[in-house]
A = this chain, B = another copy of it.
Amino acid sequence: MEQKSTQNKSKRGGLRVNAGRKVDTGLFGEPTSVIRVPESQKGVVKDFLSAYRNKQLKQESYNHLEIVAADKSGDIALPLFTSKVAAGFPSPADDHIEKRLNPNDFLIDQQDATFFVTISGLSMRDAGLLPNDKAVVDRSKIPAIGDIVLAVIDSEYTIKMLAKTKQNQPRLLSANPDFAPIEIKEGQQFEIWGVVTGSFRRFK
Protein backbone atom coordinates (compact mmCIF):
# COMPACT_ATOMS: atom_id res chain seq x y z
CA MET A 1 0.00 0.00 0.00
CA GLU A 2 2.71 2.46 0.97
CA GLN A 3 4.27 4.38 -1.85
CA LYS A 4 5.65 7.38 -0.10
CA SER A 5 8.85 7.54 -2.07
CA THR A 6 7.64 6.31 -5.43
CA GLN A 7 4.40 8.19 -5.48
CA ASN A 8 3.48 9.71 -8.78
CA LYS A 9 0.31 11.37 -7.60
CA SER A 10 -0.52 14.73 -9.04
CA LYS A 11 1.41 17.60 -7.63
CA ARG A 12 -1.55 19.63 -6.49
CA GLY A 13 -1.97 20.68 -2.94
CA GLY A 14 0.87 21.65 -0.70
CA LEU A 15 0.92 23.95 2.27
CA ARG A 16 -2.21 26.04 2.77
CA VAL A 17 -1.43 28.63 5.33
CA ASN A 18 -4.86 29.99 5.99
CA ALA A 19 -6.94 27.01 5.00
CA GLY A 20 -9.42 25.07 7.04
CA ARG A 21 -12.83 25.51 8.45
CA LYS A 22 -13.42 28.74 10.24
CA VAL A 23 -14.24 28.83 13.91
CA ASP A 24 -17.84 29.02 15.03
CA THR A 25 -19.21 27.77 11.73
CA GLY A 26 -21.09 25.00 13.48
CA LEU A 27 -24.74 24.54 14.17
CA PHE A 28 -24.81 27.10 16.94
CA GLY A 29 -22.21 29.56 15.77
CA GLU A 30 -20.40 29.17 19.05
CA PRO A 31 -18.23 26.64 20.82
CA THR A 32 -19.88 23.60 22.30
CA SER A 33 -19.09 21.16 25.02
CA VAL A 34 -20.55 17.91 26.25
CA ILE A 35 -22.77 17.46 29.21
CA ARG A 36 -24.29 14.36 30.74
CA VAL A 37 -28.06 14.09 30.84
CA PRO A 38 -30.46 11.39 31.95
CA GLU A 39 -31.52 9.13 29.13
CA SER A 40 -35.18 10.01 29.48
CA GLN A 41 -34.56 13.74 29.04
CA LYS A 42 -32.34 13.49 26.01
CA GLY A 43 -35.17 14.33 23.65
CA VAL A 44 -36.33 17.25 25.71
CA VAL A 45 -32.88 18.75 25.74
CA LYS A 46 -32.44 18.17 22.02
CA ASP A 47 -35.76 19.83 21.38
CA PHE A 48 -34.67 22.80 23.36
CA LEU A 49 -31.43 23.01 21.44
CA SER A 50 -33.11 22.91 18.05
CA ALA A 51 -35.53 25.59 19.17
CA TYR A 52 -32.57 27.61 20.36
CA ARG A 53 -30.98 27.23 16.96
CA ASN A 54 -34.11 28.39 15.20
CA LYS A 55 -34.41 31.33 17.49
CA GLN A 56 -30.89 32.32 16.55
CA LEU A 57 -31.59 31.98 12.86
CA LYS A 58 -34.74 33.97 12.61
CA GLN A 59 -35.39 36.49 15.29
CA GLU A 60 -38.81 34.95 15.77
CA SER A 61 -39.81 33.90 19.21
CA TYR A 62 -41.08 30.47 20.01
CA ASN A 63 -44.43 29.74 18.57
CA HIS A 64 -47.14 30.31 21.05
CA LEU A 65 -49.18 27.21 21.52
CA GLU A 66 -52.89 27.44 21.66
CA ILE A 67 -55.89 25.37 20.88
CA VAL A 68 -57.99 26.72 18.06
CA ALA A 69 -61.54 25.77 17.15
CA ALA A 70 -62.39 24.40 13.74
CA ASP A 71 -64.19 26.39 11.10
CA LYS A 72 -65.45 24.34 8.23
CA SER A 73 -67.29 26.95 6.24
CA GLY A 74 -66.78 27.32 2.52
CA ASP A 75 -67.21 24.56 0.04
CA ILE A 76 -64.35 23.94 -2.28
CA ALA A 77 -63.56 20.57 -3.74
CA LEU A 78 -60.34 20.55 -5.73
CA PRO A 79 -58.89 17.90 -8.06
CA LEU A 80 -57.02 14.98 -6.57
CA PHE A 81 -54.60 13.02 -8.72
CA THR A 82 -54.01 9.36 -8.46
CA SER A 83 -50.50 8.15 -7.92
CA LYS A 84 -49.64 4.62 -7.23
CA VAL A 85 -46.09 4.54 -8.49
CA ALA A 86 -43.35 5.30 -6.05
CA ALA A 87 -40.96 7.32 -8.13
CA GLY A 88 -43.33 8.83 -10.61
CA PHE A 89 -46.81 8.61 -11.88
CA PRO A 90 -48.44 9.30 -15.18
CA SER A 91 -49.13 12.75 -16.44
CA PRO A 92 -51.87 14.43 -14.52
CA ALA A 93 -53.72 15.67 -17.48
CA ASP A 94 -57.27 16.39 -16.63
CA ASP A 95 -58.34 12.88 -17.44
CA HIS A 96 -56.14 11.52 -14.68
CA ILE A 97 -58.00 13.42 -12.08
CA GLU A 98 -59.51 10.78 -9.94
CA LYS A 99 -61.88 12.82 -7.92
CA ARG A 100 -62.31 16.06 -6.15
CA LEU A 101 -61.36 16.58 -2.57
CA ASN A 102 -62.37 19.10 0.04
CA PRO A 103 -59.72 19.29 2.76
CA ASN A 104 -62.26 20.46 5.31
CA ASP A 105 -64.46 17.47 4.72
CA PHE A 106 -61.47 15.21 4.57
CA LEU A 107 -60.07 16.40 7.87
CA ILE A 108 -63.08 17.26 9.99
CA ASP A 109 -65.82 14.89 11.09
CA GLN A 110 -67.49 16.66 13.99
CA GLN A 111 -66.99 20.33 13.52
CA ASP A 112 -67.98 21.41 17.01
CA ALA A 113 -65.81 18.78 18.66
CA THR A 114 -62.76 19.52 16.55
CA PHE A 115 -59.82 21.71 17.52
CA PHE A 116 -56.40 22.47 16.15
CA VAL A 117 -53.13 22.51 18.00
CA THR A 118 -49.76 23.64 16.76
CA ILE A 119 -47.06 21.05 17.22
CA SER A 120 -43.87 22.02 18.97
CA GLY A 121 -40.90 19.82 19.55
CA LEU A 122 -39.72 16.73 17.79
CA SER A 123 -41.20 14.07 20.01
CA MET A 124 -43.59 12.84 17.30
CA ARG A 125 -41.21 13.29 14.41
CA ASP A 126 -41.32 9.72 13.18
CA ALA A 127 -45.09 9.87 12.96
CA GLY A 128 -44.73 12.77 10.54
CA LEU A 129 -45.67 15.45 13.05
CA LEU A 130 -43.13 18.22 12.81
CA PRO A 131 -42.86 21.51 14.65
CA ASN A 132 -45.41 24.03 13.48
CA ASP A 133 -47.73 21.42 11.98
CA LYS A 134 -51.38 21.75 12.90
CA ALA A 135 -52.82 18.69 14.57
CA VAL A 136 -56.53 18.01 14.19
CA VAL A 137 -57.96 17.00 17.56
CA ASP A 138 -61.41 15.44 17.77
CA ARG A 139 -62.89 15.36 21.27
CA SER A 140 -65.81 13.20 20.27
CA LYS A 141 -63.74 10.19 19.28
CA ILE A 142 -63.13 7.42 21.75
CA PRO A 143 -59.41 6.91 22.20
CA ALA A 144 -58.04 3.46 21.50
CA ILE A 145 -54.64 1.92 22.08
CA GLY A 146 -52.40 2.98 19.25
CA ASP A 147 -54.12 6.28 18.64
CA ILE A 148 -52.26 9.55 18.72
CA VAL A 149 -53.86 11.58 21.46
CA LEU A 150 -53.71 14.96 23.09
CA ALA A 151 -53.21 14.08 26.74
CA VAL A 152 -53.06 16.15 29.90
CA ILE A 153 -50.68 15.07 32.65
CA ASP A 154 -50.64 17.26 35.74
CA SER A 155 -52.01 20.09 33.62
CA GLU A 156 -49.27 19.75 31.05
CA TYR A 157 -50.52 19.10 27.54
CA THR A 158 -48.71 16.74 25.27
CA ILE A 159 -49.29 14.79 22.07
CA LYS A 160 -48.24 11.17 22.25
CA MET A 161 -49.26 7.73 21.10
CA LEU A 162 -51.51 5.93 23.55
CA ALA A 163 -50.37 2.55 24.80
CA LYS A 164 -50.74 0.65 28.02
CA THR A 165 -48.56 -1.19 30.46
CA LYS A 166 -48.95 -4.81 31.38
CA GLN A 167 -50.82 -3.59 34.43
CA ASN A 168 -53.24 -1.78 32.13
CA GLN A 169 -51.95 1.59 33.20
CA PRO A 170 -51.78 4.26 30.51
CA ARG A 171 -48.45 4.72 28.84
CA LEU A 172 -47.61 7.45 26.37
CA LEU A 173 -45.11 6.76 23.62
CA SER A 174 -43.20 9.28 21.58
CA ALA A 175 -42.46 8.69 17.95
CA ASN A 176 -38.79 9.51 18.37
CA PRO A 177 -36.23 7.31 20.08
CA ASP A 178 -34.79 10.30 21.89
CA PHE A 179 -37.88 10.54 24.04
CA ALA A 180 -38.60 8.09 26.81
CA PRO A 181 -42.10 6.68 27.28
CA ILE A 182 -44.23 8.33 29.93
CA GLU A 183 -45.89 6.11 32.49
CA ILE A 184 -48.79 7.52 34.40
CA LYS A 185 -48.20 6.90 38.06
CA GLU A 186 -50.67 6.70 40.87
CA GLY A 187 -51.66 10.13 42.06
CA GLN A 188 -50.94 11.91 38.82
CA GLN A 189 -53.66 13.82 37.12
CA PHE A 190 -54.25 12.31 33.71
CA GLU A 191 -56.78 12.88 31.00
CA ILE A 192 -57.08 12.22 27.33
CA TRP A 193 -58.32 15.49 25.98
CA GLY A 194 -58.97 14.29 22.48
CA VAL A 195 -57.84 12.06 19.65
CA VAL A 196 -55.53 13.39 16.95
CA THR A 197 -57.34 12.39 13.79
CA GLY A 198 -55.19 14.24 11.29
CA SER A 199 -52.74 17.01 10.63
CA PHE A 200 -51.89 19.64 8.08
CA ARG A 201 -49.15 22.12 7.38
CA ARG A 202 -47.89 24.72 5.00
CA PHE A 203 -44.50 24.55 3.37
CA LYS A 204 -44.61 27.89 1.69
Residues of A within 8 A of B (CB): 28, 30-42, 44-49, 51-52, 59, 61-74, 76, 78-92, 97, 99-108, 111, 114-121, 123, 127-130, 133-134, 136, 141, 147-148, 152-153, 155-158, 185-187, 193, 195-204
Contacts and interface: CB of A to CB of B under 8 A. Distances in A.
A101 B52 CA distance: 28
9 contacts: A32-B39, A44-B87, A69-B100, A81-B118, A90-B155, A101-B134, A103-B200, A106-B200, A107-B200
A81 to B, nearest CB: 5
B79 A97 contact: no
A187 B64 CA distance: 11
B52 A88 contact: no
Contacts of A63: 185-187
Q: Number of copies of this chain in the oligomer? A: 2
Given A63-B185, A71-B101, A97-B115, A203 B147 contact: yes
A48 B35 CA distance: 12
Contacts of A70: 100-103
A166 B59 CA distance: 22
Which of A38, A83, A147 has its CB near the most chain B CB atoms (within 10 A)?
A83
Nearest to A50: B85
A62 B83 contact: yes
A173 B8 CA distance: 38
Given A35-B46, A104-B76, A116-B81, A195 B204 contact: yes
Contact of A105 (B51, B74, B86, B117): B74
